[in-house]
């Protein structure tokens, strides 16, 4: 009797994990689809000479969707990694590997988008930083300082 209850508990946990994975997979796929569609809209907006405000809005929406994709991937990666027994055993679990790849994809695309956002003229203003003074590099000795 106890053994059958234990089996039912394991089955319930597996069903719950599968349901959570399906939901996370749908969130991830939806977010990445939206990123693709909004990326196309951003290209079209640039080509049509859209205002800076419109391009900023599109960039913000793309970034929001990438955060959604990252959140879904991170949630599943951590859950499956814990079920697999941690980092030592997770590297061989196909589910962990899949969600780690999705997590890395979301992060990579977000980094690329942030660079594109910076390159989009007028959308982000570069922050000017005053160059450090020579004093910031420590003491100097005559004859050993070389200005390049």
- Phi and psi of 119, rounded to 5°? -75, -20
Q: How far is CA 59 from CA 4, 31, 39, 89, 125, in A?
A: 53, 14, 8, 38, 14
DSSP category for residue 136 = G
Mean pLDDT of 43-48: 92
Q: How far apart are CA 135 and CA 148, in angstroms?
A: 16
Place of tokens 């300082």: 145
User: What rounded mean pLDDT belongs to the chain?
Assistant: 82
Q: How many other CB atoms sit within 10 Å of the CB of residue 57?
A: 15
Report the candidate in 104, 36, 108, 94 with the shortest Cα–Cα distance to residue 74: 104
Q: How far apart are CA 38 and CA 95, in angstroms?
A: 29
Q: How many residues does the chain have?
A: 148
pLDDT top residue among 92 and 128: 92
Q: How far apart are CA 24 and CA 68, in angstroms?
A: 10
Check residue 48 and give its pLDDT: 95
Mean pLDDT of 141-148: 55
Check residue 16 and give its pLDDT: 84
Q: Is the pLDDT of residue 1 over 80?
A: no
Range 42-48 contact pairs with CB under 8 angstroms and sequence separation of 24 or more: 46/120
């Amino acid at each position: 009797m106890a053994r059958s209850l234990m089996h039912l508990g394991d089955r319930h946990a597996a069903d719950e994990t599968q349901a959570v994975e399906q939901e996370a997979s749908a969130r991830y796929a939806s977010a990445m689809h939206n990123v693709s569609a909004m990326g196309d809209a951003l290209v079209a907006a640039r080509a049509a000479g859209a205002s800076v405000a419109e391009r900023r809005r599109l960039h913000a929406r793309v970034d929001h969707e990438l955060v959604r994709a990252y959140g879904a991937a991170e949630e599943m990666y951590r859950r499956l990694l814990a079920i697999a027994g941690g980092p030592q055993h997770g590297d061989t679990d196909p589910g962990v590997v899949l969600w780690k790849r999705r997590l890395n994809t979301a992060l990579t695309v977000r980094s690329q988008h942030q660079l594109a956002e910076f390159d989009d003229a007028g959308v982000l203003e570069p922050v000017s930083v005053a160059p450090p003074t020579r004093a910031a590099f420590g003491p100097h000795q005559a004859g050993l300082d070389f200005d390049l």
